[in-house]
Amino acid sequence: MKFYYIYILKCSDNSLYVGITSDIERRVMEHNAGKYPDAYTHDRRPVTLVFYQDFTEPNRAIDFEKKIKKWSRAKKQALIDENYDKLQYLSECRNATHYKYNLDNEFDED
Could you give the domains of the chain? 1-70 (3.40.1440.10), 72-110 (no CATH)
Give the span between the Cα atoms of 110 and 101, in whole angstroms: 21
Give the span between the Cα atoms of 81 and 48, in whole angstroms: 14
Residues 6+ apart with CB under 8 A from 67: none
Nearest to 44 by CA among 71, 15, 85, 23: 15
Q: Give residue 110's pLDDT.
A: 46
| SS3 state at 50 | strand
For 49-105, the pLDDT digits (tens) are 999 999 999 999 999 999 999 999 999 999 999 999 998 988 887 766 656 655 555
Q: Give residue 58's pLDDT.
A: 96
Q: Give residue 26's pLDDT.
A: 97
On the CB side of 104, how many CA atoms lie within 13 Å of its CA? 4
Q: Give residue 91's pLDDT.
A: 84
Model confidence, pTM = 0.84
Phi/psi at 88 (nearest 5 deg)?
Answer: -65, -45
For 37-58, the pLDDT digits (tens) are 999 999 999 999 999 999 999 9
